[in-house]
Structure 1
Amino acid sequence: MANHSAPPTAGTPLQRFLARPHVVVGGVYGAVLGSSMTAALTKEAAGDRRYDATWLLITAVVTAAAHGYAHLIATRAQRRIGAQAAVHTVVDEWPLTVGALPSVVLLFGAGVGWWGSRGIEYVTFAVNIVLLFGWGLFAARTGGRTWLSALFIGVGDALLGLVVVLANALVK
């Protein structure tokens, strides 16, 4: 099984679960992937938005599997693991796929007419930057930072996410 460090012991069960490093990493990675893929794929037609949502979901699942596979290989360098633990290591990367779901839902919703298709990439981008702020704030608070310090960290994380997403969009 993947070694993802023990979660903190303080807070509610949900907070402890969400504070696990692989959940935070997956949430952040999924939000960045969602924004980057949206910038790379989007077109204006509603049907194209459904196509974009499908490709984003496929990319998130494949990326999570690849990340889990890399963890599996790295784990083998440290200890022997069986087939069940190997599968667990790969499946444990599900938070990355879940982190991309807000983008998938926004694109899919635009594709089926729940809301307008035009400009949805900007809405997706904004939602993901807010999510990156939230992940930064949450991680800082879970790590024992004051609210003021955590807010600054959250803003910094959102700005760093903005830079990463823009860099990814520029290389499309």
Structure 2
Amino acid sequence: MPHRIRRYVPSESLIFGGVYGSVLACALAAALDEQSGAPDPGYDALWVLLTALASAAAHGYARAIAQPPPEGGKGMAAIAVRSVLAEWALPTAAMPTVLMLLAAYAGWWPEATAATASLAFNTLALFCWGLWAARTIGHRSWPAACRVGGVDMAIGLFIATVNALIK
């Protein structure tokens, strides 16, 4: 009897961090090119990175303090640090936006192009996160997984649409 290959099942934190990080990066990229003054993609890249890191830290810390304290109340700091570090997927998902902005800082393209490319990339990434989650966690059929990915992608499309309407 042949051995079955075990399918990798991503953790909830990985899926959450990927989707949340992509939505956050998408929203931040949409807000970037509407500034007063000269564009500064280096500053904007740093701002996106720090916002993603702060969001991950806030989520990890909130998760830690929402749990009952350990017996005797000791070790809560270590639990909080581990919980914050477990949110690594959120800032990682924002890195393509940071890299696109750094490419604009290097003069490879205008910041507005980097912001538009980031919106498109993150919208596609949201579809992929939803598809991957549905196929690996839910073991859903391809059509059902595509619907889940489509719903995730709709978040990115909503951000891009609102961004276009506001500007």
Is structure 2 residue 45 aligned with structure 1 residue 53?
Answer: yes
Q: Structure 2 matches for 1:1-172, cutoff 5 A? A: 10-11=6-7, 15-16=8-9, 19-42=10-33, 48-76=40-68, 80=73, 82=75, 83-142=77-136, 143-163=138-158
User: Normalising by structure 2, what TM-score?
Assistant: 0.81
Return closer, same or farther for 1:122/1:168 CA change in 2, 3 Å cut-off: closer
2:158, 2:33 → 1: CA distance? Answer: 19
| Long gaps (5+) in structure 1 | 1-8
Secondary structure of the corresponding residue to residue 65 of structure 1: helix
| Stretches (4+) displaced over 4 A | 43-47, 77-81, 164-171
Greater C-alpha radius of gyration? 2
- 8 Å contact from structure 1 (residues 30, 98) kept in 2: yes
The range that moved more, 64-73 or 160-169, is: 160-169
Return closer, same or farther for 1:167/1:115 CA change in 2, 3 Å cut-off: closer
1:36, 1:109 → 2: CA distance? Answer: 19
Identity percentage over the alignment? Answer: 42
1:35, 1:67 → 2: CA distance? Answer: 18
| Long gaps (5+) in structure 2 | none
Return closer, same or farther for 1:95/1:78 CA change in 2, 3 Å cut-off: same
Secondary structure of the corresponding residue to residue 113 of structure 1: coil
Secondary structure of the corresponding residue to residue 93 of structure 1: coil
1:40, 1:115 → 2: CA distance? Answer: 18
CA RMSD across the alignment = 2.9
1:155, 1:162 → 2: CA distance? Answer: 10
- State the Cα deviation string for residues 60-80 of structure 1 (Å, max 9, x = none): 111111111101110136875
Q: Which amino acid aligns with 2:89?
A: P
Aligned residue pair count: 159
1:133, 1:146 → 2: CA distance? Answer: 15
Shift of 1:144: 0.7
User: Normalising by structure 1, what TM-score?
Assistant: 0.79
